[in-house]
């Protein structure tokens, strides 16, 4: 029987790599510290002239091709990003024009690192309701523009990239359950202080580096483990499954220690956790999008497998999607 599922997947990673060794020349850090504390070896840096939409376009084109569709077949584009090309128009509108998806509506969502998961859940509602047939969901981020390259506690963590999927009616790769949530009381833990209506851009905000992301790393760490495990458990239970029946957990790639703690909390062995953090660092909403596309491309998922995508991010937002491959 047909129900909402994943029709196609794609991703784009900039070619330029920034290794931990390169970072040693920029801030007071070491490859050893970054590897042991985060699990990150290198991250990708988008070309200067590339914005979130340019990376999103590449990921979108490969997902559309993978689904065997044409841009005109797309009914809706949802872009998850915290690094939009500009405040408005939405990055989704810019991508719609660039790929020639002339029949689609388009809008952005901001759920930070959980954005791609929230995007899939949103897309499913439109497909289930019968309003739209093919929804393109993109997670695209140029995080390296938001980091203060003199702050060693954050600049080592992030990278650039984009991933995309098409959600539509399908006999395979069906979305069997989901859960999304938020704890707004944690909104101060991870934020970009200036440039919005609260603190508009002034010479002062630029001088005080308020256009770079700020993070209470330790607090975020503790909450991340709890909310990711909770979100995944809720979605898995809603699907009528047990954690032990999950074949592959694809988590937001924030920190290897967070991911291992989540695995432990869920009683999952390490080999059931998909990891690419070593190569890309944290790409915010693009992390789960790229990880899902790579897990599929690397044949880490077999037909009939149960896959759980799980993420957390600024907000604090959190969510999980269970897919039967
Ligand atoms: N190199 C060397 N030393 C460093 C570095 C670095 N890059 N960064 C911090 N340190 C130092 C600190 O200054 C501190 O030194 P001190 O003891 O002399 O004061 C020491 O290392 C320990 O610092 P902690 O902050 O306690 O280190 P911790 O083990 O907590 O790791 C980290 C920091 C990696 C940021 C961790 O807290 C973390 O991963 N937190 C979660 C981050 C995360 O997942 N963010 C999600 C963002 S996604 C989104 O929604 C946009």
How high is the pLDDT of residue 55? Answer: 98
Q: Is the fold of 3-170 the same as that of 177-324?
A: yes
Six token digits for residue 197? 């209506």
- Does any ligand 1 atom lie closer than 6 A to the CB of residue 223? no
Q: Residue 186 — very low, low, confident or very high, per pLDDT cuts 50/70/90?
A: very high
- For residue 129, report the phi and psi dihedrals to the nearest 5 degrees: -70, -15
- Does any ligand 1 atom lie closer than 6 A to the CB of residue 320? no
Q: Residue 20 — very low, low, confident or very high, per pLDDT cuts 50/70/90?
A: very high
Identify the DSSP state of 144: G
Looking at the predicted structure, is the pLDDT value of residue 313 above 90? yes
Domain segments of the chain as ranges: 3-170, 177-324
Beta-bridge mates of residue 12: 162
**C-alpha pair distances (Å), 13 with each of 26, 56, 181, 311:** 23, 10, 29, 20
The closest-lying atom of ligand 1 relative to the alpha carbon of residue 252 is 48
- Region 79-84: what's the mean pLDDT? 98
How high is the pLDDT of residue 171? Answer: 93
Active-site positions read 113, 252, 282
- Region 291-297: what's the mean pLDDT? 98
- Does any ligand 1 atom lie closer than 6 A to the CB of residue 191? no
CATH of 177-324, one of 3.40.350.10, 3.80.30.20, 3.40.47.10, 3.40.50.10330: 3.40.47.10
**CATH T-level assignment (fold) for domain 3-170:** Peroxisomal Thiolase; Chain A, domain 1 (3.40.47)
The closest-lying atom of ligand 1 relative to the alpha carbon of residue 154 is 35
pLDDT tens-digit series, residues 140-162: 999 999 999 999 999 999 999 99
């Amino acid at each position: 029987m047909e129900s909402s599922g994943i029709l196609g997947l794609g991703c784009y990673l900039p070619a330029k790599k920034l290794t931990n060794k390169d970072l040693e020349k920029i801030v007071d850090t070491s490859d050893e510290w970054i590897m042991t504390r985060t699990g990150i070896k290198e991250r990708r840096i988008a070309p200067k002239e590339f914005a979130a939409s340019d990376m999103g376009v590449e990921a979108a084109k490969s997902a559309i091709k993978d689904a065997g569709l044409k841009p005109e077949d797309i009914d809706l584009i949802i872009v998850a990003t915290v690094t939009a090309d500009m405040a408005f128009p939405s990055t989704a509108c810019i991508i719609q024009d660039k790929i020639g998806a002339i029949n689609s509506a388009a809008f952005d969502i901001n759920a930070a690192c959980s954005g791609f998961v929230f995007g899939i859940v949103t897309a499913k509602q439109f497909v289930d309701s019968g309003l739209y047939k093919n929804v393109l969901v993109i997670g695209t981020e140029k995080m390296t523009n938001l980091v203060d390259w003199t702050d060693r506690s954050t600049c080592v963590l992030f990278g650039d990239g984009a991933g995309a999927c098409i959600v539509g009616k399908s006999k395979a790769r069906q979305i069997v359950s989901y859960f999304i949530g938020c704890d707004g009381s944690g909104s101060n833990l991870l934020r970009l202080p200036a440039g919005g209506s609260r603190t508009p851009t002034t010479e002062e905000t630029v001088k005080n580096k308020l256009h770079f992301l700020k993070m209470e790393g330790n607090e975020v760490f503790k909450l991340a483990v709890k909310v990711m495990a909770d979100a995944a458990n809720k979605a898995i239970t809603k699907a009528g499954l047990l954690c032990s029946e999950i074949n592959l957990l694809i988590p937001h790639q924030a920190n290897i220690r967070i991911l291992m703690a989540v695995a432990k909390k869920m009683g999952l062995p390490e080999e059931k956790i998909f990891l690419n953090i070593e190569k890309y660092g944290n790409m915010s909403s693009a992390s789960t999008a790229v990880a899902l596309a790579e897990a599929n491309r690397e044949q880490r998922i077999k037909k009939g497998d149960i896959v759980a995508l799980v993420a957390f991010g600024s907000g604090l937002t959190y969510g999980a999607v269970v897919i039967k491959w």
